[in-house]
A and B are shown apart, each in its own frame.
Chain A
Amino acid sequence: MMQNTSSIKAVPAATPVPRPGVRLLLLPLVILAGMGLSVEAGVLGPLGEQVGHLWATLSIFGVGSAILFLFTLLSGPRPGPALSDLPRWQLMGSFLGPVYVVVLTLVTPMIGIAMTMIAILCGQVGKSVLIDHFGWFGATRKPVNTERWIALALIVVALVLIARGDA
């Protein structure tokens, strides 16, 4: 739900296997997963209007926690350090999740799902360009190439087009 463009990059890329068959099978699956994100936003908006935005947000985090708890339990012991051994700031990311979901429930009924998604995308790409560029939060610092900036500009243009068309 709340990990999008830059978290995908953060997943350690283990041995890339360029097998065309697998790729063709996986691609529709990934597109479906992306469609799921919009469905989630679509479900949240009307739900928030009925039961209150914070309750709708709680339904996401409550159900999500329960499912993930079961998965963690069933997947057996994990290697790696305990959460309490890690630097505090690495745990801070969790505090930011509710911001996104609350905004989603508040805004989708007012501006529609497509515009919400594009605005989110705009913020993500803009911010991840900055994070990469300056190497914040322990990300590897690398200068952002022109193509990224062009992509960002195009996303902003799309946002303006939709906003003006609907207003």
Chain B
Amino acid sequence: MSLFLLLLVVVGAGAVLSVQAAINGKLGQSVGVLRSSLLTFVVGAVITALLIVFFEPAQAVSLMDVPKWQLSGALFGVTYMLVMVGAVPRIGAAVATVAVIVGQLGMGMLIDNFGWLGNPAIELSGSRMLAMACLALALVFMYRSSTRDA
């Protein structure tokens, strides 16, 4: 029950993400990818700061107390963006999309399975394997539909 609700929330977040990507894509075309991303991050920081000021309860541990590697998340995001800017024109959007998702899901399964980075370990079960097979098939279809459009 609560799992279902959580999943709905995450699917919704994915939908929001693709709305954002569609809007930012337009923006990036006119002002450049660097500037549109900078805008995204600055506005994101400002909004989050506002939310913290008004809604966040006091925390016992601050960002300055945790090990530094736990703050490295943004580095991966920015690297991803720059790699994409460089790679998409050369290998094509369809191939790049599939490659990203393969990396994303493969790594997701690995982190879950071994409980890396302080995450709870979730074993790679038979149904997870089957799910990966479905996703692989989905990617094949997405790839074929994109290459046909292009």
Contacts and interface: CB of A to CB of B under 8 A. Distances in A.
Interface of A: 1-17, 19, 22-23, 26-27, 29-47, 50-52, 54-65, 67-69, 71-72, 75, 78-81, 83, 86, 89-104, 107-128, 131, 136-139, 142, 145, 147-148, 150-152, 154-155, 157-159, 161-167
Nearest to B31: A80
9 contacts: A3-B24, A26-B87, A57-B44, A60-B44, A61-B48, A97-B41, A102-B48, A150-B138, A158-B138
B108 to A, nearest CB: 4
Interface size of B as a range = 35 or more
Contacts of B51: 54, 98
Interface of B: 3-4, 6-7, 9-35, 37-45, 47-49, 51-52, 55-57, 59, 61-63, 65-66, 69-81, 83-93, 95-97, 99-109, 111-112, 116-120, 122, 125-128, 130-132, 134-135, 137-139, 141-142, 144-146, 148-150
A118 B135 contact: yes
Chain B at the A interface: mostly helix, strand, loop or mixed?
helix
A4 B26 CA distance: 15
Chain A at the B interface: mostly helix, strand, loop or mixed?
helix
B119 A108 contact: yes
A103 B59 contact: no
Contacts of A23: 90-91, 95
A37 B76 contact: yes
